[in-house]
Amino acid sequence: MHALVTGGGSGIGRATCRQLAADGYHVWVCDVDIEAAERVQGEILVAGGSATAWHVDVSDETSVEALFAQVRATAEIDCLITAAGIQLLDHDAPVHELDTAVWRRTIDVNLTGTFLTLKHGVRSLLARGGGAIVTIGSPDGIYGMEPRSQAYSASKAGIHGLTRAMAIHYASAGIRVNTVIPGFINTPMNAPIIDNPAAFEQALAAVPLRRVGTPDEVAAVIGFICQPTASYVTGSLVFVDGGLTAQ
* pLDDT of 203 over the 90 cut: no
pLDDT of residue 130: 96
Instruction: Read off the pLDDT band of 198 (50, 70, 90).
Output: confident
Mean pLDDT along residues 190-212: 84
- Mean of the pLDDT values across residues 158-186? 96
| pLDDT of res. 146 | 74
In angstroms, the CA 188 to CA 243 distance is 21
Instruction: Report the chain's mean pLDDT, rounded to a whole number.
Output: 94
- 232 is a catalytic site residue: no
Residue 247 has pLDDT above 80, yes or no: no
For 116-149, b/e burial (b = at least 16 CB within 10 A) is bbbebbbebbeebeebbbbbbbbbbbbeebeeeb
What whole-number percentage of the chain has pLDDT above 90?
Answer: 79
Alpha-carbon span 152 to 219, nearest angstrom: 22
Average pLDDT estimate for 24-32: 97
pLDDT of residue 176: 98
Mean pLDDT of 136-143: 92
Query: Which of 50 and 191 is assigned the larger pLDDT?
Result: 50
Q: Say what the pTM is.
A: 0.93
d(CA 11, CA 190): 10
Task: Please state the domain extents for the chain.
Answer: 2-186+216-240
pLDDT at 105: 97
Of 25, 143, 152, 170, the active-site residue reads: 152
In 3-state terms the chain splits into helix, strand, coil percentages (rounded to 5) of 55, 15, 30
Q: How confident is the model at residue 241 (pLDDT cuts 50, 70, 90)?
A: very high
Confidence (pLDDT) at 16: 98
Per-residue pLDDT, 190: 79
Distance CA 66, CA 236 (A): 30
Of 133, 131, 27, 5, nearest to 78 by C-alpha is 131
pLDDT of 147 over the 80 cut? no
Which CATH architecture is the domain 2-186+216-240 placed in?
A: 3-Layer(aba) Sandwich (3.40)
